[in-house]
Amino acid sequence: MKANFMPMLRSATRLLLAALLAATLVPAQALQSDKTQPIQVEADAMHYNDVKQTSVFTGNVVVTKGSLVIHAARVEVVQTPQGYDDATAFGTPNKLATYAQTLDAQPGQPTPSMFGSAVTIHYDGKSDVVTFTGQATLDRLSDGKLTDRAQGEVITYNDLTDVFTVVGGKAGATPSNPNGRVRVMLSPRTTQPAAKPSGPAPALKVSPGLGAQP
């Protein structure tokens, strides 16, 4: 099944996508061209309940908007009685929900991108908080090369304060990390050398007041 969102669903889904775009280890802007691209969804089935204000997409769900791509087994969007929108992308422990996106690059710099995954990715429309739960990982790449990574059982990003937290726990334990501790890898940032002067430095001039006799 492939469909463009109906007008009544469009605002809720855009909030979901905007929140997912914001969840990055190092703040950066998404491709400006992504904002003008249409939202498209592919799924095996979709169910919309007008009474409960819920939209449910199931079966190999793929959400795209420009360079942004979200994969999940199930995506649910709910409008609360207060008018806020909550959205959740569901994966499984064996097949996590994922999203990937290209970010804007500075002229002459490598192209940055993001990749995130978790068992569930939840967006709270009231608080503007995105929560990645279960085997959560957030990666930042430069020309496809990994530069930053955060791993934990729960990763939370607040879009209003631009703050993210990573929480570990036994639930996130693996053979290589039996205590489920938080793991973060940050690469040093490269800086551009200062521009050289285009010509010789101007000659120093003596102020008329210096050395003058009283």
Residue 210 lies in a domain: no
Which structure tokens are listed for 2? Answer: 């492939």
Residue 206 lies in a domain: no
**What pLDDT does 15 receive?**
41
State CA 39 to chain mean position distance. 17
Task: Please write the tens of the pLDDT for every residue from 100-116.
Answer: 888 777 788 888 888 88
Residue 196 lies in a domain: no
* 141 Cβ contact list (under 8 Å, min separation 6): 112, 113, 114, 115, 147
pTM (two decimals): 0.66
**What pLDDT does 11 receive?**
42
DSSP string, 159-179: TTTTEEEEE--GGG-BTTBTT
**Phi then psi for 8, rounded to 5 degrees?**
-70, -20
Residue 22 lies in a domain: yes
The CA distance from 141 to 145, in Å, is 5
Q: How many domains does the chain have?
A: 1
Coil/strand/helix, residue 193: coil
**What pLDDT does 31 receive?**
61
* 29 Cβ contact list (under 8 Å, min separation 6): 103, 104
The CA distance from 19 to 88, in Å, is 11
> Nearest CA to 34 among 129, 115, 101, 133?
101
What tens-digit pLDDT sequence spans the chain (214 residues)?
Answer: 544 444 334 444 444 444 343 333 334 455 666 666 766 789 999 999 999 888 899 999 998 878 878 899 999 988 888 887 788 999 999 999 998 888 777 788 888 888 889 999 887 878 878 889 999 998 889 988 999 898 999 998 776 776 779 999 877 777 878 888 998 888 887 655 555 555 554 544 444 544 445 5
Residue 168 lies in a domain: yes
Percent above pLDDT 70 for the chain: 69
Task: Please write the tens of the pLDDT for every residue from 77-98.
Answer: 888 888 877 889 999 999 999 9
Q: In sequence order, which ranges of the chain are alpha helices (DSSP H)?
A: 7-22
Residue 181 lies in a domain: yes
The CA distance from 141 to 149, in Å, is 9
Q: The CATH number of the domain where 161 resides is what?
A: 2.60.450.10
Task: Tell me the residue range of the domain where 131 lies.
Answer: 2-186
**What pLDDT does 67 receive?**
80
Q: Which helix (H) or strand (E) holds 93?
A: none
Residue 194 lies in a domain: no
Residue 213 lies in a domain: no
